[in-house]
């Protein structure tokens, strides 16, 4: 399996605080195609910062991030916008759908920005909403969906454009147990079927138990990197 | 581009109350600007109209030398050329008022005063400035009458009364001596002392005879219904007349001091307008700021998932344009309704101020202008103001930190 993400000596220090905070310290990791990885650790361990840096939302202070052998840490902002749009999918903790668009439009949104043909876009969005079990909610706006349904639309949106990998920042944090398991089932299935690399930050045990790789961060450093066999 | 328009349009409908408040702030600013500027503009128009009607008229056809050397030798011949030129542009001209005037000496018994003798057509003069409404004793002369009407102050200075004779002595056309004795048939009062102590009115033909200038005028006043056409009409009339002999002067050329005073007033109005724009601008700015800070997280997310800053800025700008357009359109409609109502039912001023205005020959009302320019200009200014303020969210979008804002 090819390497999708490779970090090399990745460090991030926040200097806009009274005392500089070292959020990430010399992280060297590789993520391969189709992996289902959970980044775990206590609050403040650097999970979200790590996702932001490998997702191109934030810049490292030292080291580099290579995605498909392309170093994104030295890219200009405009290049990063294009890169993120075409290579990375995001799922956030608080659903983060566009409130004025329907489930179908939200799912198509990234593809629309990528200027995909209309027919292809609609077919893919419909397929993804069917995959996440929301084929009957296509024309419904987020405010009319439950939290779990909104997060499923967010997953459909992130995966619809077939990105190289999807970053999910605590996607189950706001969900009840049933919705969380439902979402995890969907994500695990899509990970296998679509062969999309999924990386979660979480301290939700339900997510950790599903992950085939669990990386533990403590104080911005990798303390454990474990592989598990899952069905 | 279509998706940006859809997002902007739906965003406006998403939080109807927020949109309504923002549109209302633009509407309120437009109504305020239109009402105040219409009032200031209306009062200015009223003042110009009153002053012009009581003095020079909007336009005058004069002998080419008269303005620089206002003597009877430079009285113009009121012949076919002038009459034809006026006739050619009758559509623009409401009416004309002929005048012949010059300084003379007025004497009664042992007293004498320098006076302004004005030969007038009383009917046309009345139409222009309601002259006969200022009569305090006797009558204004009519067709065929040969008496004089003098100002009340002058009558007092010369200790003269109705029925007395007044001797006038002055310089007539081409060195002729102007001499005449006239019975005083009426006394007229003016609020301005300069006029009240010097005016002597004679029937036009009597004054022409007195100045030995038959068929001559010192000026033919042209009155128009709309002040705006004055410069264009002046040019058109001048084209019909021989430039060597005749000149057409606007009220602005005839009263340069008055023009300066109006310009000074316009400058004051402009300062007032800018204070008003700053005040209403801050009102709109406050609403847009509240709207912006409510949406920072949403902006951060949109940027994170792939929307470019330029695209997000375009959404903000489209929203501002739509809000500004709706607010200004509604504001112009509401402003017109208010101003039109005040235009047809003007507020009358009573008390001392009203009396002073009446004395000055100005109707004591607060006039409002319904000139389309007031609505268009104020609407445009508020729209541009809203757009400029709307640039703040655009600037914010370009400086937004995606990570921190999407976590707010």
Whether residue B97 is found in the same domain as residue B169: yes
Residue B333 has pLDDT above 60, yes or no: yes
Query: Helix, strand, or coil here: B95?
Result: strand
Q: Does B14 touch chain A (CB under 8 A)?
A: yes
Query: Residue B399 — φ and ψ, nearest 5°?
Result: -110, 5
- Residue B36: give the domain boundaries: 2-52+259-406
Q: Please state the pTM of the whole predicted model.
A: 0.71
Which chain A residues have a beta carbon less than 8 Å from that of B305?
90, 96, 109-110, 157
Final residue of a structural domain among B254, B274, B292: B254
Final residue of a structural domain among B254, B282, B297: B254
Predicted confidence band of residue A2 (pLDDT cuts 50, 70, 90) = confident
Q: Is B252 left (phi over 0), alpha (psi -120 to 50) or beta?
A: alpha
ipTM reported for the complex surpasses 0.85: no
Please tell me the distance from the alpha carbon of residue A194 to that of residue A191, in angstroms, as a whole number.
6
Please tell me the distance from the alpha carbon of residue B30 to that of residue B376, in angstroms, as a whole number.
11
Of the listed ranges A23-37, B158-172, B264-278, B314-328, the least confidently predicted one is B264-278
Please tell me the distance from the alpha carbon of residue A144 to that of residue A126, in angstroms, as a whole number.
18
Residue B407 has pLDDT above 70, yes or no: no
What's the whole-number average pLDDT of chain B? Answer: 89
Instruction: Give the pLDDT confidence of B2-17 residue by residue, as tens digits.
Output: 888 888 888 888 888 8
Residue A103 vs residues A108, A119, A178, B182: alpha-carbon distances, Å: 9, 17, 21, 98
Q: Does B254 touch chain A (CB under 8 A)?
A: no
- Would you state the pLDDT for residue B166? 94
Whether residue B97 is found in the same domain as residue B18: no
Final residue of a structural domain among B254, B275, B294: B254
Q: How many structural domains comprise chain B?
A: 2
Give B352 or B172, the one with higher predicted confidence: B172
Residue B408 has pLDDT above 60, yes or no: no
> What are the residue ranges spanned by the domains of chain A?
3-227
Alpha-helical runs (H) found in B345-371: 351-359
Q: Which of A90, A93, A98 to mutate: most B Cβ within 10 Å?
A: A98
Query: Which residue in chain A has the smallest CA separation from B302?
Result: A98
For residue B213, the tally of other CB atoms under 10 A from its CB is: 25
Range with the largest mean pLDDT of A8-22, A169-183, B162-176: B162-176
Average pLDDT over residues B265-290: 84
Q: Do B304 and A92 touch (CB under 8 A)?
A: yes
Which chain A residues have a beta carbon less than 8 Å from that of B19?
none
- Would you state the pLDDT for residue B281? 85
Predicted confidence band of residue B353 (pLDDT cuts 50, 70, 90) = confident
Which chain A residues have a beta carbon less than 8 Å from that of B7?
98, 100-101
Whether residue B92 is found in the same domain as residue B238: yes
Query: Helix, strand, or coil here: A175?
Result: coil
Whether residue B153 is found in the same domain as residue B290: no
Whether residue B244 is found in the same domain as residue B360: no
Give B43 or B96, the one with higher predicted confidence: B96
Residue B58 vs residues A143, B51, B222, B250: alpha-carbon distances, Å: 67, 10, 6, 6
- Would you state the pLDDT for residue A203? 83
Query: Which residue in chain A has the smallest CA separation from B7?
Result: A100
Which chain A residues have a beta carbon less than 8 Å from that of B301?
92, 96
Whether residue B311 is found in the same domain as residue B347: yes
Whether residue B268 is found in the same domain as residue B373: yes
Whether residue B245 is found in the same domain as residue B343: no
- Would you state the pLDDT for residue B49? 83
Predicted confidence band of residue B361 (pLDDT cuts 50, 70, 90) = low
- Would you state the pLDDT for residue B303? 87
Whether residue B88 is found in the same domain as residue B185: yes
Average pLDDT over residues B49-63: 90
Instruction: Give the pLDDT confidence of A53-108 residue by residue, as tens digits.
Output: 999 988 899 999 999 888 988 888 888 888 888 899 988 877 678 888 899 999 99
**Would you say domain A3-227 falls under CATH 3.40.50.300?**
yes
Whether residue B77 is found in the same domain as residue B141: yes
Whether residue B343 is found in the same domain as residue B248: no
Counting Cα atoms < 13 Å in the Cβ hemisphere of A173 gives: 15
Interface A–B counts its CB contacts (< 8 A) at 47
Query: Which residue in chain B has the smallest CA separation from A84?
Result: B306
């Amino acid at each position: 399996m090819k390497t999708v993400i490779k970090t090399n000596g990745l460090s991030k220090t926040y200097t806009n605080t009274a005392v500089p905070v070292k959020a990430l310290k010399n992280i060297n990791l590789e993520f391969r195609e189709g992996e289902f990885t959970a980044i775990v650790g206590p609050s403040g361990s650097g999970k979200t910062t790590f996702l932001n840096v490998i997702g191109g939302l934030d810049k490292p202070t030292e080291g580099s991030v290579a995605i498909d052998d392309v170093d994104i840490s030295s890219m200009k902002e405009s290049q990063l916008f294009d890169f993120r749009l075409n290579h990375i999918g995001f799922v956030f903790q608080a659903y983060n759908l566009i409130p004025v668009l329907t489930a179908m439009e939200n799912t198509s949104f990234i593809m629309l920005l990528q200027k995909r043909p209309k027919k292809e876009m609609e077919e893919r969005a419909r397929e993804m909403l069917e995959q996440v079990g929301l084929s009957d909610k296509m024309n419904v706006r987020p405010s009319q969906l439950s939290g779990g349904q909104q997060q499923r639309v967010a997953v459909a949106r992130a995966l619809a454009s077939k990105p190289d990998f999807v970053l999910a920042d605590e996607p189950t944090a706001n969900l009840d147990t049933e919705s969380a398991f439902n979402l995890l089932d969907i994500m695990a299935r899509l990970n296998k079927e679509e062969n999309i690399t999924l990386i979660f930050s979480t301290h939700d045990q339900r997510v950790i138990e599903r992950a085939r790789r669990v990386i533990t961060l403590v104080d911005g450093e990798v303390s454990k990197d474990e592989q598990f066999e899952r069905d | 581009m279509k998706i940006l328009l859809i997002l902007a349009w739906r965003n406006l409908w998403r939080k109807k109350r927020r949109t309504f408040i923002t549109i209302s702030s633009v509407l309120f600013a437009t109504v305020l600007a239109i009402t105040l500027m219409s009032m200031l503009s209306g009062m200015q128009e009223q003042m110009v109209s009153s002053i012009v009607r009581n003095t020079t008229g909007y336009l005058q056809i004069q002998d080419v030398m008269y303005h620089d050397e206002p003597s009877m030798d430079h009285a113009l011949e009121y012949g076919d050329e002038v009459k034809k030129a006026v006739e050619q542009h009758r559509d623009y001209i409401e009416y004309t008022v002929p005048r012949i005037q010059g300084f003379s000496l007025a004497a009664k018994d042992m007293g004498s005063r320098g006076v302004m003798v004005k030969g007038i057509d009383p009917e046309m003069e009345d139409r222009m400035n309601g002259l006969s409404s200022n009569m305090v004793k006797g009558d204004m002369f009519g067709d065929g009458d040969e008496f004089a009407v003098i100002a009340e102050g002058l009558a007092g200075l010369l200790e003269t009364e109705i029925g007395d004779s007044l001797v006038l002595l002055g310089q007539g056309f081409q060195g002729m001596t102007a001499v005449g004795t006239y019975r005083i048939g009426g006394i007229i009062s003016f609020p301005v002392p300069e006029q009240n102590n010097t005016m002597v009115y004679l029937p036009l033909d009597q004054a022409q005879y007195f100045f030995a200038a038959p068929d001559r005028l010192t000026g033919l006043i042209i009155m128009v219904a709309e002040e705006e056409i004055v410069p264009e009409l002046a040019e058109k009339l001048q084209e019909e007349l021989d430039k060597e002999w005749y000149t057409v002067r606007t009220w602005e050329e005839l009263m340069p001091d008055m023009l300066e005073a109006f310009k000074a007033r316009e400058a004051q109005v402009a300062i007032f307008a800018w204070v008003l724009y700053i005040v209403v601008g801050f009102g709109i700015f406050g609403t847009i700021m509240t709207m912006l800070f409510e949406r920072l997280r949403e902006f951060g997310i949109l940027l994170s998932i792939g929307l470019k800053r330029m695209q997000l800025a375009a959404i903000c700008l489209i929203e501002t344009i739509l809000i500004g357009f709706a607010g200004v359109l509604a504001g112009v409609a509401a402003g017109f309704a208010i101003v039109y109502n005040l235009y047809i039912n003007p507020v009358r001023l009573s008390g001392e101020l009203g009396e002073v205005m009446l004395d000055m020959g100005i109707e004591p009302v607060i006039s409002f202008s319904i000139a389309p320019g007031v609505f268009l200009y104020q609407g445009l200014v508020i729209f541009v103001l809203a757009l400029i303020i709307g640039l703040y969210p655009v600037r914010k979008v370009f400086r937004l930190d995606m990570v921190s804002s999407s976590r707010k």
